[in-house]
Amino acid sequence: MNDMRQLTALGRTIEDESFAIIDAEAGAHDFSRAEWQVVRRVIHATADFEFKSLLRFHPEAVRAGIDALKGGSSIVVDVKMIAAGLNEDRLAAYGCSVTSLISDEDVIAAAKAENSTRAIESMRKAHRLGKLDRAMVAIGNAPTALLEVARLVREEGARPALVLGVPVGFVSAAMSKEAVLELDTPFIIARGRKGGSPIAVAIIHALLYLAAEERS
């Protein structure tokens, strides 16, 4: 198997032991083998076993994510924290790139002019530029971005390969994820208030690992 973890021998031992503990403490579950690789990596990143009950997968989500990565898809993110957490070498191995538009001057100007949010306007710009189609869209911080992605799919024909909807928060966070559950687009979401950029990063790294596993 092509080891994408880039760890020392000791680091690999510690990670393997951590996953063994997670498997033992999590107990029985109904996830597929591939889905469990995603769930356990999220638990590993958070030490929070509640994600076992919060994560929801579209039936085609993992397959869509692996295929998108292997096809060199763009990863459109709501905040730069996700981009900062991703392993550039792993992405480069597949020709993937990360798109973050939230700090673009025109996005900021549009948010002010429309009394909107930068997160909303960044997703609108990504759609105008055709960057959402066939992309992996990862929302870890801004529920308004996830609500906008759902709207763009429903009303304006956006066709992402996979939506990762894991924004954290108290205002619209849970609602934004429920909106994604109603889409036909493949998705992975964390229901309720919990989430965050580290969750999105963990999911993407799990999908990268699964893609590497298939390649070997």
- Which residue numbers are catalytic? 44
Full DSSP string of 5-74? S---HHHHHHHHHHHHHHHHHH------HHHHHHHHHHHHHH--TTHHHHEEE-TTHHHHHHHHHHTT-E
Contact 160, 153 (CB under 8 A): yes
Give the Cβ contact number of residue 14 at 10 Å.
Answer: 12
Name residues whose C-beta falls within 8 Å of residue 49's C-beta, 6 or more positions apart in sequence. Answer: 22, 25, 26, 43
Distance CA 53, CA 33 (A): 16
- For the chain, what is the radius of gyration of the CA atoms? 17
Distance CA 144, CA 123 (A): 10
Distance CA 167, CA 146 (A): 8
